[in-house]
Each structure stands twice: as C-alpha cells, then as structure tokens.
C-alpha cells in the first residue's frame, strides 16, 4: 500500500478516533435524569472519526508527486515551523489561564495572539479588534444566549 497524504491523514483519524472512543468510556454519567447522557456526542464524534479514517485509508488512488506522503520532513520554510510552534504555545497558554482568568479574558488574549501569529504586528489594530470582538461575541452567544457555563475567572459577573 503506497502512502499518500490521504492515507496518512486517515491513519491519524483512526488513531485519534479510537483513543477518543475509549476515553469517552471514562466520562461520568450525570446524576440527573438525562435520557441521552454526556457520552452521546463524544461517541458520535469518535465513530465519525473512525469511519472517515477508514474511508481515507481504504480509498484507492494513484500516488502522484502532488499527493505523495512525505513523512517526518520538516517544512522547508522556517517561518511555517515557527508559526506552528507559536500556535501550540498559545493553545497551551490558553488552557493554563482559562480557569484563573476566565473565558472572556482568556479568549480575547488567545484570539489576539492568534491574529498576531497569523498576520504579524503590521496589523495591530485589526488583530486587537478581532480578538476583542471574537471574545466578547462568543461569550455573549454561549454564556448569555445558550446558557452554557463558562469559566468566569476574575470577572465574576
């Protein structure tokens, strides 16, 4: 079996889907009477990932120069690699500050950082504006309209 980009992606989806499926088994069920339960959506997501992974792995396609998988080759462009690292650091930082600072501040900081990573410092006004608008709008939609409980952090209102 020749490795194409689709097959590598399919193997990745299979591995993540199976791990996600087994991790879902550890989710506690709610004490309140919920007919669906908290495991329903994660199981659907895991099964879909496994299904799509299988489709990609079993797909018959010819290997061309365009779709040939190049495993374990770093991007030739160092800037792309740096952006990947910065994005991972920003995501990890978001997870670290989410509980203490709350969703609103954390999401504004994260999205602003992502905008600076993507567009650079030359568009500072746009970067900060998008970060603020994204953070506030998602907070309003999820916390106020959909009544989803979000970490409040230092702004307990």
- DSSP per residue, 26-48: TSPPPSS--SS-TTHHHHHHHHH
- Residue 39 confidence (pLDDT) above 70: yes
pLDDT of residue 93: 94
Residue 53's nearest CA partner among 84, 31, 21 is 21
Side-chain half-sphere CA neighbours of 73 within 13 A: 8
CA distance 112 to 106: 10
Domain ranges of the chain: 5-58, 78-145
- Residue 78 confidence (pLDDT) above 90: no
pLDDT of residue 21: 93
Q: Compute the residue count for the chain.
A: 157
Confidence of residue 80 (pLDDT cuts 50, 70, 90): confident
39 or 11: which leads in pLDDT: 11
Say what percent of the chain tops pLDDT 70. 87
**pLDDT tens-digit map of 83-141:** 989 999 999 999 999 989 989 999 999 999 999 999 989 999 999 999 999 999 999 99
pLDDT of residue 88: 94
- Residue 62 confidence (pLDDT) above 90: no
């Amino acid at each position: 079996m020749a490795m194409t980009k689709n097959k590598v992606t399919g193997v990745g989806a299979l591995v993540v889907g199976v791990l996600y499926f087994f991790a879902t088994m550890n989710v506690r069920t709610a004490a309140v009477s919920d007919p669906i339960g908290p495991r329903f959506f994660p199981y659907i997501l895991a099964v879909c990932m496994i299904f799509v992974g299988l489709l990609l792995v079993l797909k018959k396609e010819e290997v061309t120069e365009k779709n040939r998988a190049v495993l374990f080759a770093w991007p030739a462009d160092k800037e792309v690699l740096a952006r990947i690292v910065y994005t991972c650091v920003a995501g990890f930082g978001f997870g670290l500050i989410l509980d203490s600072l709350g969703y609103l501040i954390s999401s504004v900081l994260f999205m602003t950082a992502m905008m600076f990573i993507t567009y650079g410092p030359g568009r500072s006004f746009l970067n900060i504006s998008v970060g603020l608008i994204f953070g506030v709008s998602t907070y309003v939609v999820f916390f106020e309209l959909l009544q989803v409980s979000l970490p409040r952090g230092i702004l307990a209102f």
